[in-house]
Amino acid sequence: MIVFVDMDMTLVDFYNHFMKYAKFFLLHRQDFDIHKEVTNIHDLKTCSCTSWVESLGIENNIAWYIRCDVFDSLIFWISMLFLNENTYEIFMDLCNRHDVYISTSAFNSDSFPCIEGKVRWIDKHLPFFDKTKLIYCHHKELLKGDIIIDDYVSVLEKFNGTTIAMDYPYNNKVKTDYKVRNWSDIKRLLEL
């Protein structure tokens, strides 16, 4: 089977990593004060990184600049961590059994740090993965394959194949074939 796997919030724990870096960039600004803490992704109702920064009590215009600072940081993209402790093993098993592609967005289409950083992340964390199967794509619903594993609503709604949603509050109303919370659920679902 041809399987497409998203990176952010599917292979990697993008939310917690992003928030750590956003707080780091906020510490170096003179015009802010963090008013509150957001404890985890399952408390949020949006997948907007700007909204995540706003959840710290930061005004929209500053939150947008912090988002841009984080996305322009090459080390941010390279240092992301796997979503779960067993993601690596299950993803590798999936690759051994199926024709797997990583389909991911370059958050800003002109964002060289994001593009280079994701390639370097794969080099570092998935040395077995064939990078010719890395697809940067904002419109993943146009991909042709059997399965997509993703968290983004429009992808899950429009993909013409089996959809497996990483289940988060921001996508819990989307109609999808399957919902999973972690890579162990994917392993059971696909009988790996």
Per-residue pLDDT tens over the stretch 65-121: 888 889 999 999 999 999 999 999 999 999 999 999 999 988 665 678 999 999 999
Question: What count of Cα atoms within 13 Å lies in the side-chain half-sphere of residue 163?
Answer: 22
Specify the pairing of strand 178-180 against strand 134-136: unpaired
Q: What is the pLDDT of residue 131?
A: 95
**31: pLDDT strictly greater than 60:** no
Would you give the distance in Å from CA 157 to the centre of its chain? 17
Q: Which CATH number fits domain 2-13+80-190: 3.30.360.10, 3.40.50.1000, 3.40.50.150, 3.40.50.800?
A: 3.40.50.1000
Please state the domain extents for the chain.
Answer: 2-13+80-190, 14-77
**45: pLDDT strictly greater than 70:** no
pLDDT tier, 35 (very low <50, low <70, confident <90, very high otherwise): low
Q: What is the pLDDT of residue 53?
A: 83
Q: What is the pTM of this model?
A: 0.89
Highest mean pLDDT, choosing among 24-28, 62-66, 105-109, 153-157? 153-157
**177: pLDDT strictly greater than 80:** yes
Secondary structure (DSSP) of 13-68: -HHHHHHHHHHHHHHT-SS---------GGG-S---HHHHHHTTT--HHHHHHHHH
Q: Is 176 left (phi over 0), alpha (psi -120 to 50) or beta?
A: beta
Average pLDDT of the chain, as a whole number: 88
- Mean pLDDT, residues 136-161: 93
